[in-house]
A and B are shown apart, each in its own frame.
Chain A
């Protein structure tokens, strides 16, 4: 186990390093002069040169990269090219919206996907199971943006249960208002993700139904449902854990789109705005924060999966 964790940690560090190189290289090596963009069309060559020096853009790229990386290790992602404010503080602040949104979405996805997946597996030869499965197939193909619009139209506009857009200005000062603001966006991401989880749970549970230990449970006189829940579900849950690693990427991508749709002040919306302003230092930090999250969660999920699955445990002899 220790060896596995160390190996996975090494792969994670490698992944994070590669992510930092790729993000830096994409934003710096490709054509397009940051100083020129910032100085605008009226900037004189002298101004552009001064700006370049001030931003450190005149130094060799490897030096710039190492400086950025050094700052990164100290938790300093640099300062915004446009506003001059520290990037780290702003990202941390915006994560206060994005992370709860992702967490809430995951909860919605699991609450919707897993029970319905098990149900549709138990009834997979009946019409009701087929209907649930078909609906899930459809929902899994719905673009998050449209799902959000439909939910706004129904739950916010027609029924008036939840606010259509926005987030309290004072943030989490009033937790109830903040959660209410996050509910629709979380439903948007969660329903689409839930449909994916439902399909996975369903096929895993159908497979489990014909496994020996589940059949044996039924042979001992348990109902099929009870036997699946008691003997089959642990295996299904393990598979689910390994899928979750991939789903987290989906949650964060969903967050970029959904934050824009619902005008939520999260990292995703910040990224969209900064790409428009070509604030490369901030874009760099945001991209690294988001991909870093995906990589870290992926590693944690792998380790959790390994720790939970007795079949993968090394024999300690």
Chain B
């Protein structure tokens, strides 16, 4: 809770958090309500400029761009959350194997992670798409595994640091098993580092989903997606350059917010950087 309060106290954390809350709200509301049907084509309403009826204008088939962008936020949120969840599970597993397991397991994991970290996520996704065809599931698996490896690399040192600290050793000495120790002492104390990674994993996921949907291997035609909208609008770029601003800005602001939130979380979770001045006196006393 302290971390959360610390995060929202400063604009560096509060502003990106506010944008992300807005995206989450849009994702939730657009499941049941959007200003217009995001898929309803209206040939008499092609390429309308921004107006009260269509604040973001309309596209080549007369769809309301605002409604489509709102509906697509749902896709982004679901894919980002799912990818981050997979990434954390994969990452924590690899980090634990790379830092806490018996020696040969540790060494094999370390080499494996160091090699795997070089594989670009989007290529993993393309490999999966070649077999299964493109889908959002492919994006989730590719980003989850791809970023999970990155988390495994970052988390390794952190888990090792926490696992060799006095309170964990004391817990082990008092008879707590390896799993119990990992769950009760190591993971909660390594959590700040992991939370930062969750934020960055989501940023990666939003970019990957947009990129793959642009290529036609992410969201299907029936699923609204910011990346898909970019590719739908591309052929008309020379004539109607302004409409691409909406999905483009939506992606950029979301990725930017996730990146900024990651930085802010890092600072908020680091007690040394706290400026609240409400630190109990006895803690600083010798």
Contact = CB atoms under 8 A, between A and B. Distances in A.
Interface of A: 11, 14-15, 18-19, 22-23, 26-27, 30-32, 137-138, 140-146, 149-150, 152-153, 157-158, 164, 249-250, 252-253, 256-257, 260-261, 271-272, 274-276, 278, 280, 283, 287, 290-291, 294-295, 298
Given A19-B115, A149-B230, A257-B122, 12 more contacts: A11-B111, A18-B112, A142-B248, A143-B227, A143-B251, A146-B230, A153-B238, A253-B120, A256-B215, A257-B215, A272-B126, A291-B120
B252 A138 contact: yes
Contact of B234 (A26, A261, A272, A274): A261
A138 B256 CA distance: 6
Contacts of A158: 241
Nearest to A157: B238
Given A11-B114, A14-B111, A146-B251, A260 B214 contact: yes
Interface in B109-164: 111-112, 114-116, 118-123, 126-132, 134
A23 B237 CA distance: 36
Contacts of B203: 141
B217 to A, nearest CB: 7
- 4 residue pairs, one from A and one from B, having the closest CB atoms: A146-B248, A153-B241, A141-B256, A141-B255
Contacts of B121: 253
B130 A145 contact: no
A278 B114 contact: no
B122 A149 contact: no
Contacts of B244: 146, 149-150, 153
Contact of B122 (A30, A152, A253, A295): A253
10 contacts: A26-B131, A142-B252, A149-B233, A149-B244, A158-B241, A257-B215, A271-B126, A275-B217, A291-B118, A298-B118
Contact of B237 (A32, A157, A287, A298): A157
A145 B210 contact: yes
A272 B215 contact: yes
B128 A26 contact: yes
A143 B260 contact: no
A84 B277 CA distance: 72
A5 B104 CA distance: 24
Contacts of A31: 131
Contacts of B199: none
Given A150-B248, A253-B120, A143 B126 contact: no
B207 interface: yes
B260 A137 contact: yes
Nearest to A158: B241
Interface in B212-253: 214-217, 227, 230-231, 233-234, 237-238, 241, 244, 247-248, 251-253
Given A11-B115, A138-B252, A157-B237, A145 B230 contact: yes
